[in-house]
Structure 1
Amino acid sequence: MSELQRSFAKAKLAGLPSEALLPLDTFREEDECPEGQADEFCPWSQSAQDEDSSSASSTGTIKPNRKHLFAKPTGLSTGGTLLKPLAWTRYFAQEYYLENVRPDGVVIHHVYLTPPANKGPLFVLHHGAGSSGLSFAVFAAELLEALPDAGVLSIEARGHGETVVKSNDGIIKGEPHDLSIGLLSSDLSKTVQLVQAKLGWPHLPDIVLIGHSLGGAIITDVASRGTLGTAVLGYVVLDVVEGSAVDALQQMNLYLAMRPKTFPSLASAIDWHVRSRTIRNNLSARVSVPPLLYQEAESSLCSDSRPWKWRTDLLMTEQYWASWFTGLSKKFLEAKGGKLLILAGTDRLDKELMIGQMQGKYQLQVFPEAGHFIHEDQPRKTTMLVLDFYRRNNRSALILPPKVSQLVRESATVNKTGISPDRKEGHVA
């Protein structure tokens, strides 16, 4: 390099801001909440661009580089809204802690709820393994905007979110939790019944069950067992089928070993989920990621240095993984009610479901632009598809033709009296 070139380069570098010289994989604590506000939402300004962001802007072929997962987001100013957690109150009207007394202890079921109005349907939502009820937050908001009379009930499984299990002496049980499929489906049915009792409903409204991943296996098991009776119009399974789920379990340990064990803040956890493309919708990540973590109790370290850990230890649930999905395809095809399967790729279909789809036993939709968290990546498209599914299975909107026996009786009445039974007395034709 000539002396002239060196001089030109130095002049250019001197004019750059200091942060531009930092390596991309440097995580800067000054991008977090100011000191003393680590446990509160920082008053960052709202960005219209972030509010409207969706996976449509992040569905290219870019693959995450593990070395740069904690890099400062490109194009965002210091304290950008991408890192700001959002409260559940923006998406649901109420939250409840419902007590379920069982022989083995007491389960305190935590749920988010917006009750239905004017005899509207109730969409019962169940998250996947490791997630929480707020995984469906943005989807719920989209659904209620499109169908205001509907209700949404987002349930948190034991060991997830704020649902806890207590022993008979009142002590909260820690890991490992019993997460067998039969117990989880029983929890879902019981939670719906507890909500019915809490709100004083004389009978259950029309119900559409929606489950993502493990939640899809749970709602399918509930539909198969018929524990909610005839209230269930149908069920929607999001991105899980038996064959591919069982195959994917072989890589689960590797995935869990690769992801971070702790985060320095909630903001950094949201950032990791977006950068790793685990969740491709910035807005959804800001509300669904915070409940996945908890901050360690007070220690000798200052409060701002306490790390955030995963609330659900998925490795502790390994003994249940295979049982969650074994027999799922058979139950999905045989259970009563309308059936909708939404996948992120056709490669996820197994042989049994491919045959069932060709026979017209269920509706299939593929969102190739979405990742595994379909309802978070594409909440609006998922909403439109679910609402169309509901309307086609809505019994109250169906106008059925009269039965043959009824036609025979009416014909006999006309022949005998000369007056049709639907003609009122005194009316002249």
Structure 2
Amino acid sequence: MKNLKFYCSLVYHVCFCGCRSSSSRYSPLPWQGHFDEDKMVAIPDSDDIFHVYLAGTEGPVVFCLHGGGYTGLSFALIAGKMKEKVRVVAMDMRGHGQSKTSDDTDLSAETQCQDVLNVVSAMYGREPPAIILIGHSMGGAIAVRVAAKRALPTLAGLVVIDVVEGTAMASLVHMQRILANRQLHFPSVEKAIEWSVRGGGSLQNPESARISVPSTLKFDADRKCYVWLTALEESEAHWRGWYEGLSEVFLSCPVPKLLLLAGTDRLDRSLTIGQMQGKFQMIVVRHTGHAIQEDEPDEFAGVVLNFIARNRIGTYGIEIPGLRRPVSLRSSN
């Protein structure tokens, strides 16, 4: 009898406590403490309201655009590491997170570019502080196209995370299959976080996933399970417009530029030539997945802060020692 009780007790601890431990390992974490606050930004003369996260009170604005299927919380960990020196703003793009627009399915490059310009204008008016645009994947393509418009008078820098035209265009023919093969239904938020880290998702850092993944889900009351909030497979009509011609547009942007890659095989011919000519700075971050800002937040934050310091980007623009007023932000890199 004693042996039987011991065996039952052992089974209980291994099965029940082990499952509970696994669940707690992937339980959601709050974004508070990384970002300082969030708010809704209403766009005048429209029904569009964009949700943004904010951190920091001083320095230039690091304005972050997430990739397709992600949200502004993709930048939570880096916000906490950078907010003592810069202000970090991360918006939920159209059709993502808590943002609500008149047409959440219109993810065209032109519409998303206008969304970014509208949010910056609504937040800062006609005299915004110096802005460094950061974009990951789809958000990187949008950041490049916003910069190329030269519509932000205080744009001081551009950082693109793991997206180049050649690789992106080549992958489009496989994208629907990739999306169809990912897990679509989860019994709990914890299981979605675990899948994102271990089961085929794009994240490697459990801490970041525990913050960012819950914001990418919604509960399906009919199926009684969690599903992805953004139906990326329905945005196929816009994919080519995000990436086509992106390399040349990136090279033409008249501000200091940084390209962060998770592997050198992602560099296409135009960017290889441009990098050799010194038209932009490139850094390859090893031992990371596609979402560099989530997988390696310490290294990412250090690289971006060094980029800002190297290009002497201050609160109101590019500050050169000895000059009372910042030089024009229209000058080429």
TM range (shorter): 0.7 to 0.9
What secondary structure is seen at the aligned counterpart in 2 of 1:295? Answer: strand
Counting only pairs closer than 5 Å after superposition, residues 134-283 of structure 1 correspond to structure 2 as: 134-144=73-83, 148-166=84-102, 177-197=105-125, 203-229=127-153, 231-276=154-199, 278-283=202-207
What secondary structure is seen at the aligned counterpart in 2 of 1:263? Answer: coil
Structure 1: state its 5+ residue gaps: 1-10, 23-29, 32-71, 167-172, 300-304, 402-429
**Is 1:18–2:15 an aligned residue pair?**
no
Cross-structure match for 2:254 = 336
Q: Displaced runs of 4+ in structure 1, greater than 6 A? A: 19-22
Cross-structure match for 1:412 = none
Whole-Å separation in 2 of the counterparts to 1:99 and 1:77: 42
Given the alignment, which residue of 22, 37, 46 partners 1:94? 37
What secondary structure is seen at the aligned counterpart in 1 of 2:101? Answer: strand
Whole-Å separation in 2 of the counterparts to 1:78 and 1:287: 17
Cross-structure match for 2:321 = 399
The amino acid across from 2:53 in the alignment is: Y
Q: Is the 8 A contact 1:295 1:308 kept in 2?
A: yes
The 1:225/1:271 distance shift into structure 2, 3 A limit, reads same
The amino acid across from 2:170 in the alignment is: D
The 1:19/1:363 distance shift into structure 2, 3 A limit, reads farther
The 1:149/1:203 distance shift into structure 2, 3 A limit, reads farther
What secondary structure is seen at the aligned counterpart in 2 of 1:106? Answer: coil
Whole-Å separation in 1 of the counterparts to 2:211 and 2:174: 27
Measure how far apart 1:273 and its partner are: 0.7
Measure how far apart 1:20 and its partner are: 9.3
Give the alignment's TM-score, normalised by structure 2.
0.88
Give % identity: 38
What secondary structure is seen at the aligned counterpart in 1 of 2:43? Answer: strand
Whole-Å separation in 2 of the counterparts to 1:285 and 1:259: 16
The 1:19/1:316 distance shift into structure 2, 3 A limit, reads farther
What secondary structure is seen at the aligned counterpart in 2 of 1:158? Answer: coil
Measure how far apart 1:178 and its partner are: 0.9
Cross-structure match for 2:280 = 362
Give the alignment's TM-score, normalised by structure 1.
0.69
The amino acid across from 2:88 in the alignment is: V
Q: Is the 8 A contact 1:115 1:122 kept in 2?
A: no
Measure how far apart 1:79 and its partner are: 4.5
The amino acid across from 1:77 in the alignment is: S
Q: Is the 8 A contact 2:132 2:159 kept in 1?
A: yes
Q: Is the 8 A contact 2:159 2:258 kept in 1?
A: yes
The 1:317/1:398 distance shift into structure 2, 3 A limit, reads same
What secondary structure is seen at the aligned counterpart in 1 of 2:90? Answer: strand
The alignment of Structure 1 onto Structure 2 pairs a total of residues equal to: 315
Given the alignment, which residue of 303, 307, 314 partners 2:225? 307
Whole-Å separation in 2 of the counterparts to 1:377 and 1:393: 25
Cross-structure match for 1:317 = 235
Cross-structure match for 1:123 = 62
Measure how far apart 1:296 and its partner are: 2.2
Whole-Å separation in 2 of the counterparts to 1:388 and 1:398: 16
The 1:77/1:326 distance shift into structure 2, 3 A limit, reads same
The 1:316/1:399 distance shift into structure 2, 3 A limit, reads same
What secondary structure is seen at the aligned counterpart in 2 of 1:289? Answer: helix
- CA radius of gyration, larger in: 1
Q: Is the 8 A contact 1:233 1:394 kept in 2?
A: no
Given the alignment, which residue of 47, 50, 55 partners 1:114? 55
Question: CA-to-partner distance for each residue in 1:210-239, whole Å, 9 max, x for gaps?
Answer: 00001111111111001111x111100000
